[in-house]
Amino acid sequence: MKIPVKRIIRIIVSLIIVITLSCPVPSAAADTVKSFNTGLILHVTAKGKYSNWDGVSNVSQFKGQNGNYWFAYDEDKYVTVVKTTDGKVESTVRLKKEHETFGAVECDSDGNFYLMTGEANTGTDTSKETVFLSKYDSTGKHVKTVGNNGSSSLADYYGDDFYTQTPFEGGNCDIAVNGDYIAINYARHMYSGHQSNSVWMLEKNELKTIDPYNNIYNSHSFGQRVIPYGDGFLFMSEGDCYPRAFSMNYEEAPSKKDSHGSVLDNEADIFHFWVKEGTFDAWDMFTLNDNFATIGDLCDLGNNTASFVASSVKAMNSDATDQVQNIFIQIFDPTKKFGGKSAFVTSGKRVGLSGPNGNVKTTDYGVKWITKYTKESEKRPSCVQAVSDDKGNTVILFELYKNYTYKGVYYCVVNSEGKVSKKIRRCSSDAQLNPCETPVYADGAVWWTGNKYREYDDKLYVYSLPIE
C-alpha cells in the first residue's frame, strides 16, 4: 500500500516533536532584567573613581515623589531630571546649576529637588564656601541655594585647614532626605593637603544648617554613604588611616534633642583592614591607600536593623596581598553598643591586625561572606551594590569578571536573619550597573540606569530586576 507523501511528512514532524520534548536541551540561562531604551545618548561614568576609591557618577538615581523610579543626569550648565513610569520616560525637568561641579540629586515627598554642587577654591581663604545645596520646586524653579565651607561636621578642636578646598575628591557625594531634614556625606580635599569626608546636615524647608552635634570625620575616606534611618540618618565611610575601617555613624534627628540639648548618636568601626607594620610611621601613603576593600551600600531593613554590604579580602594579615576581594554582609542594630557580637544579627568573626601601622589586634564581628572567589579561579566581583525591599530582605547586585572578561550582572537575596534566601545567579549578560550609585527598590523591582556592555553608541537604558 502506498502511503501519501503528505502523511509521511506529518509522521516525521510528529516524531521530531516527540523527540524534542522527551530530551533535555541545554540552553543559556535567560536574563531576568528588563531594559528600557531612554532614547538618550550618554556614557555613564563615575568621575574620579580609581582602584578602591569611589567617584561621582554623572547620573543620580532616586525614588520620585510618586514612588516611581527617577534619575537625573549632569549636562554642563543644567541637570535634567527624568521621570519614568514602568521604565518608560514620561517627562523631564531641567535644573539650572548654581555651581559647576556636580555632586548628586535627591527628591522629597513634596516633589522638591535638592541638587548638590561644588566649586573649588584656588586660594587660601578658608571661609570661602565651596559646597552648595540648591532647592527647586517640582517644576524646576529655583527656590534657594545655601553654601558651606566644610566645617559642618567638625569638632571645635579642628583648625580651618580641615575645611573643604576641593569638593568631591577621592570619593563620592551622597544625599538623603528624612522628614524635615537633609544629610549629605561627601568626599573632599582639604586645605591641609589631605583628603577626608565631610557631613552636612540641614533643615530642608529653609535650608538652614544644623549645628553639628557629633564629629563625623574620617581621613582618608574613599567612599561615603548616607540613608534615612528611624527619624535620623545612618552614615558609612571607607577609611584607610583614621580609622582604617568601614566606619558607621547613627545620628538621631535634631528634633529628638533632650533637655540637655543632646540626641542619640552612635559610632563604630565595624570592619577593619590590614596594612604592613610601620606603614604610617614610614609615611608610605601609597601602601596605606590600599585597604584591600571597596565600599558597597547601606540598607534600612525596617525591623530595627540595617545591613551593610561591601567587598574585601578575607584576611587581616599579610595574606591580604594575595587575595581577591569577596562580598560580605553585616546586619546590625545601629542603636546598640558595639564592641562585641551583641549588636549583630549575622555571625562570623575576623581576627587580625589593623590600624595605621598594622599593629593593633582587632576582631570584627557579624561578618557573613556571600562569595568565595579565589585567585586561582580568577573570578572577581566589581561594583558591589545593595538595596532593601519592603520585606526586610537585602538584594545584592554586582558585576562579575572572569579571566578579565565581563560576565554580566549577578544578584542574590539575603533575608533579615542573614540567610541567603536566593542564591547567586546571573540576571543580565550585557547590562552594566551605575558605578558608585545605590539602586532603587520600587514597585516590586530593583531599578538603575546604565549602558550596555560593548554597545559603543552609549545608549542609556533604565533597567528593572523583578524581585519575587
**pLDDT tens across 297-356, in order?**
999 999 899 999 999 999 999 999 999 999 999 999 999 999 999 999 999 999 999 999
Query: For the chain, what is the mean pLDDT?
Result: 91
Amino acid at 339: G
In eight-state DSSP terms, residue 321 is G
CA distance 310 to 175: 19
- Indicate left, alpha or beta for 205 from its phi (over 0: left) and psi (-120 to 50: alpha): alpha
Q: What is the mean pLDDT of residues 182-205?
A: 96
Residue 81 has pLDDT above 60, yes or no: yes
pLDDT at 375: 77
pLDDT band for position 468 (50/70/90)? confident
Residue 19's Cβ-count burial label (10 Å; 0-12, 13-18, 19+) is exposed
Evaluate if residue 457 carries a pLDDT over 80.
Answer: yes
Closest CA to 400 of 419, 420, 421, 377: 377
Sign of CA dihedral 148, 154, 160, 161: negative
More confident residue, 376 or 166: 166
Q: Which of 79-83, 154-158, 435-439 has the lowest mean pLDDT?
A: 154-158
Rounded CA separation 389/386 (Å):
10
Residue 29: is its pLDDT beyond 70?
Answer: no
What does the DSSP assignment read for 442-463? ETTEEEEEE-BTT-TT-EEEEE
Q: Is the pLDDT of residue 432 over 60?
A: yes
Residue 261 has a pLDDT of 58
pLDDT band, very low/low/confident/very high, at 31 (cuts 50, 70, 90): confident
**Is residue 13 very low, low, confident or very high in pLDDT (cuts 50, 70, 90)?**
very low
HSE-CB at 286 with a 13 A cutoff on CA atoms is 0
* Res 158 pLDDT > 70: yes
Residue 146 has pLDDT above 80, yes or no: yes
Which of 21-35, 58-72, 435-449 is the least confident region? Answer: 21-35
**% residues pLDDT > 70 (the chain):** 91
Residues 200-257 pLDDT 10s = 999 999 999 987 666 789 999 999 999 999 999 999 999 999 999 999 999 988 777 6
Nearest to 407 by CA among 44, 31, 42, 37: 31
* pLDDT at residue 340, as a whole number: 93
Residue 404 CB-density burial (10 A; 0-12 exposed, 13-18 middle, 19+ buried): exposed
Q: How confident is the model at residue 404 (pLDDT cuts 50, 70, 90)?
A: confident
pLDDT at 466: 97
Q: Stretch 152-157: mean pLDDT, rounded?
A: 87
Q: Please report which confidence band the pLDDT of residue 63 belongs to, taking 50, 70 and 90 as the band edges.
A: very high
Of 120-134, 152-166, 312-326, which gets the smallest average pLDDT?
Answer: 152-166
Highest mean pLDDT: which of 2-16, 205-219, 282-296? 282-296
Would you place residue 25 in the very low, low, confident or very high pLDDT band (cuts 50, 70, 90)? very low
| pLDDT of the residue at 212 | 62
Lowest mean pLDDT, pick from 19-33, 358-372, 411-425, 451-465: 19-33
Q: How confident is the model at residue 22 (pLDDT cuts 50, 70, 90)?
A: very low
Main-chain dihedrals φ then ψ at residue 467, nearest 5 degrees: -115, 120
Q: What angle do CA 413, 414, 417 make, to 5 degrees?
A: 155
- Least-confidence region, from 20-29, 103-112, 191-200, 299-308: 20-29
* Residue 359: per-residue pLDDT: 97
pLDDT at residue 213, as a whole number: 61
Most confident of 189-203, 211-225, 376-390: 189-203
% of the chain beyond a pLDDT of 90: 85
Residue 20 has pLDDT above 80, yes or no: no
**What does the pLDDT read at residue 378?**
82
377 pLDDT band, cuts 50/70/90, is: confident
pLDDT at 170: 96
Q: Is pLDDT at 151 greater than 90 in this prediction?
A: yes
Contacts of 59 (CB under 8 A, 6+ apart): 42, 44, 71, 72, 73, 74, 434, 437, 449, 450, 460
Q: What is the pLDDT of residue 305?
A: 97
Residue-range domains of the chain with CATH? 34-53+155-466 (2.120.10)
